Structure 1
Amino acid sequence: MDAGLKLKKATYHLWTFTISKLISSFGAQVYTFAISFYILQATGSATSFATNLICNLLPRTLAAPFAGYLVDRYSRKRIIIVAQIATTLAIGGLLAVSLTSGLSLTAIYATSCILSLTSMFSGVTFTSSVTGLVDEARVQRAMSLNQMSISFASIASPAVGGLLYGAVSMPIFLMTYMIASVIAVLLESTMNFNLYANRKETAEGEPKESMWQSMKAGVSYLKLQPLLMVIIWVSLLINFLFGAFEVGYSFVLIEKLKMASQHFGFTQGAFAVGMLLFSIYFSIRKEVQFPLVVSKRGIIGMGVIMGMMALPLLIKLSYNGAFGYYTLAMFVFGALVIIVNTPIQVMMQKQIADDYKGRVFSIVETMAMALMPLGMVLYGFLYDIFPAQWILISSAALLVGVVLVMVRPSVIKNAHPELGEGKALKTEASVVS
């Protein structure tokens, strides 16, 4: 294909990819908001809420290694389209249940399991396909625009969901998600996932790897990437401890502080605004030079914010004061998420070979989420037994301690050999270098 035509097609991919993500993310966010609020209001139990979170995490954690094999072996475009169609059918099934016999926790949990699998397949495939959809010079912009679309959906959907919750029926929420999913399928079907791909073709007569051999090859490849290994082990423990925030944030605001649905939605919207603004920043700035340093500082900041979530439970604030406090805290938290994730994601896109991306990204996702279901179960029980403020503070302290130990200056020097001992320490003083 002519170089100029490829660049035009890449530009089309850049915006189609962004719009597709925006539409599907908006539907998913509206659905998640409505279901989370429904469970907490119907049961009042952090355990029931945590169980739904587990249904969103456990299936994708178990299936991710197999998804990586399929993504590297078969058509990535076909996998994404099938996953999006399955999402539409799953929501349609829950809609049928709600109209015939009413929503039940069993139906919600089953749907969450299916959506967990479809979103995992879609997410791993899209992540593995970025360098096939756009030219290398625009990889950071593509990742930033992708995050911007998710952030924009996160801003609008909780606010809309909070305003509409109670004013419209649950079937309206489900129908919104279905329509968004169908539009996403149509957009994704027009994209060429092999435009810039550099995947090795299997020669005729050459024996194909078995699934087990392919997965072992992915692990072997990953072991040769020291920076990725550091990211994986840090993610394993950090995401476990973030269970305190995942369960506790909604539980504290809805159950303990009795925050109205529209105000709760606006605090989530503030989180998305922080993500959006920093996604825009990363879409126009040059590539971060030392991703691990930036991520370390960002995670420490997230730990501090998580501990500060307990403050309104220790110091009595007015309703408006608590609302403003959590809005500001969530804005900062959203900004820190982008500071942590974007540099690492761009580095991984450029460092990992196309033939291994599906397997490597699936392994990274599996390891990052391996302890999250356990964390959801544990924190679900803890919040029903112990004061929420002490759970948040102790978990935040553990999180900061883990990062300081696992990403110490010697580890940073090994991950970034161009940094000397003194320079490694000096560089850590900058959040975005």
Structure 2
Amino acid sequence: MSEAVKISKATYHLYTFTISKLISTFGSSVYAFGISLYVLALTGSAANFALNLICSILPRTLLAPFAGYIADNYSKKMIVILAQLASALSVGGLLVYSIYAGLSLPAIYTTTALISVSSMFASVTFSSSIANLIDTDRIQKAMGFNQSAIAIATIGGPVVGGILFGFVSMNVFLIIQVAAYLLAVALESTMNFKLFTNRITETVEDAKKSMVTGMKEGFVYLRSNRVVMVIVTVAVGVNFFFSALMIGLPFIAIQELEIETTHFGFIEAMIAVGMLLASIYFSVGKEVKFPLRFSKRGILAMSVLLAGLALPLMIEFSYTGAVVYFLLLMLVFGVTNVFVNTPIGVMMQKDVEEEYRGRVFGILESMAMAMMPLGYLIFGLLYDAVPAEYVVIGSSLCLIVLTGYMMRPSILKQAHPELDQDFIPVNPELQK
């Protein structure tokens, strides 16, 4: 295949991938919001709502490394298509069950768990495939489009889910979800997941390796690659301390400052708006030259914004002032979130060897997801026992220390050896 044909196909992939990601992510967001409303309306129990959330998070956490191994050793295209079909069948099964027996909590929990597993397989496989689908020069654009799709789904999913929940029956709601997944499958079936592959054909010895051996190799590779190991460690830490914001924001805004829930909804939405704006910037801007250093600055900025949650508790704000302050704070937080994730994502697409990429992304997702329930539990207890301003400021300082140590100058230079060139004077006469 000629280079011109490859570039043309990569351009097709760029937009097809974005549309497919938007459809599937939007569908998942609509389903999650709509089914959560149904559970609350059916039971009026926060515990049942939380159990549905656990059914969504726990399977992803446990099975993500396994999904990474599968992505590295089998056809990525087939995995993505089968995963999306599994999601469609799961929702379709719930639809059939509801027609004949009516919806029940066990059926909803089972469907949520199945969709969580299938969407995780699709997500890990897609994440490990971007460098195979898109040419190297446009990976950042693809990552920007990907973040844009997530942001749009985050903003629009609850809105559409709320509208559908209020105006159509649950059966019609489920039919729309099935149609969305099938449309995503139709788009993904036209993509070539080996367009830019550099992987050598599998040997007989490789084929004979057991799954356990293959997964161990992924962990060994991760430990041997110091820079990638730093990225994974920092990502886990950021995800953990991000829980301080996810728990602290509603607690401080609604419980401590008595901000109305309607206004709080706008505050939360500003995170997604900020993500969308930053994603557009990355999709049209030049590629970041030193992604690890760029992301380090983004995490430090995020740490300062986390501490900023405490300001209205320490300085008296008017009601309007507090709402405006949180709107701006969350907008900037959304921007910094993408400023951290996108350059790191591009770097991992380029630096992680193709044969290990699925396992590395699987391990990353598993460890990051594991931090969410742990963080929710720990910070939920802390906010009840310690003044909120101490929790967010303490979390901010811990994140700054973690980032400063893990992304110290020696690590940055190892990731970007050309950093030393920044200090070479432009005028050679100055070196004499």
How high is the TM-score relative to the length of structure 1? 0.84
Amino acid at match of 2:411: V
Assess, with a 3 A threshold, how the Cα gap between structure 1 residues 81 and 316 changes in structure 2: closer, same or farther.
farther
Deviations 1:125-160 (A, max 9, x none): 011111221222222221212222222232323444
**What is the SS of the residue equivalent to 2:193?**
coil
The residue that corresponds to 1:355 in the other structure is 355
Q: Between Structure 1 and Structure 2, whose CA radius of gyration is higher?
A: 2
CA distance in 1, matches of 2:388, 2:309: 10
Trace 1:103-118 onto structure 2 (pairs within 5 A): 104=105, 106-118=106-118
Which TM-score applies when normalising by structure 2?
Answer: 0.84
Q: How does 1:204-219 map to 2 (within 5 A)?
A: 208-219=208-219
Residue-by-residue CA offset, 1:197-234 (whole Å, 9 max, x unaligned): 22221246875222122222222322332211111222
CA–CA distance in structure 2, aligned partners of residues 168 and 258 of structure 1: 31
Tell me, in whole angstroms, the C-alpha distance in 1 between the residues paired with 2:401 and 2:123.
31
Deviation of residue 26 (structure 1)? 1.4
1:291-310 pair list within 5 angstroms: 291-310=291-310
Equivalence map 1:234-313=2 (5 Å): 234-249=234-249, 257=258, 259-260=260-261, 263-311=263-311
Distance 1:108 1:388 in 2: 35
Equivalent residue number for residue 59 of structure 2: 59
User: Which residue does the alignment assign to 2:152?
Assistant: 152
Deviation at residue 13 of structure 1 after TM alignment: 1.1
Indicate how the Cα distance of structure 1 residues 85 and 414 shifts in structure 2: closer, same or farther if over 3 A, else same: same
Q: How does 1:11-160 map to 2 (within 5 A)?
A: 11-35=11-35, 45=46, 51-95=51-95, 100-102=101-103, 104=105, 106-160=106-160
Moved more, 36-45 or 398-407: 36-45
Q: What RMSD in Å do the two structures reach over aligned CA positions?
A: 3.4
Question: Which residue does 2:346 correspond to in 1?
Answer: 346
Q: 1:192 maps to what in 2? A: 192
Alignment match, 2:328? 328
In structure 1, the residue matched to 2:427 is none
Tell me which moved more, 281-290 or 17-26: 281-290
Given residue 342 of structure 1, which amino acid in structure 2 is its aligned partner? T
Structure 1: distance between partners of 2:282 and 2:174: 34
**1:50 & 1:244 partners in 2: Cα distance?**
18
**Residue identity in the other structure for 2:344:** I
* C-alpha distance 158-422 of structure 1, shift in aligned 2 (>3 A): same
Any idea what SS the aligned residue of 2:208 has? Answer: coil
Q: Does 2:201 align with 1:201?
A: yes
Within 1, Cα distance between the matches of 2:300 and 2:264? Answer: 25
Contact 1:155 1:272 in 2 (8 A): yes
Mapped partners of 1:317, 1:83: distance in 2: 49
Contact 2:259 / 2:319 at 8 angstroms: preserved in 1? Answer: no
Shift in CA distance, 389/90, structure 1 to aligned 2, threshold 3 Å: farther
CA distance in 2, matches of 1:415, 1:205: 32
Which deviates more from structure 2 when the two are superposed, residues 380-389 or residues 290-299? 380-389
* Runs of 5+ unmatched residues, structure 2: 424-432
8 Å contact 1:202–1:208 — kept in the other structure?
no
Which segment is superposed worse, 153-162 or 124-133?
153-162
Q: Is this contact kept in 2: 1:63–1:117, CA < 8 A? A: yes
Aligned residue for 1:371, secondary structure, equals helix
* CA positional deviation for 1:188: 1.0
Measured in 2, the distance between the counterparts of 1:81 and 1:9 equals 19
Q: Residues 86-115 of structure 1: CA distance to partner in whole angstroms, max 9, x if unpaired? A: 2223333445666654553x5554433323
Distance 1:35-1:131 versus aligned 2 partners, 3 A rule: same
Mean Cα deviation higher: 379-388 or 302-311: 379-388
Identity over the aligned pairs, expressed in percent?
Answer: 50
**How far apart are 1:64 and its partner, in Å?**
1.5
Q: Are 1:228 and 2:208 matched, yes or no?
A: no
C-alpha deviation, 1:189, in angstroms = 1.4
Output the CA distance in 2 between the equivalents of 1:375 and 1:268. Answer: 19
Q: Deviations over 1:7-44 (max 9, x none)?
A: 22221111111101111111122233345566678657
Distance across 2 between alignment mates of 1:311 and 1:362: 38
CA deviation profile, 1:319-340 (whole Å, cap 9, x unmatched): 6555443332221111111100
Tell me how far apart the structure 2 counterparts of residues 39 and 313 of structure 1 sit (CA, whole Å).
34
The aligned residue for residue 428 of structure 1 is none
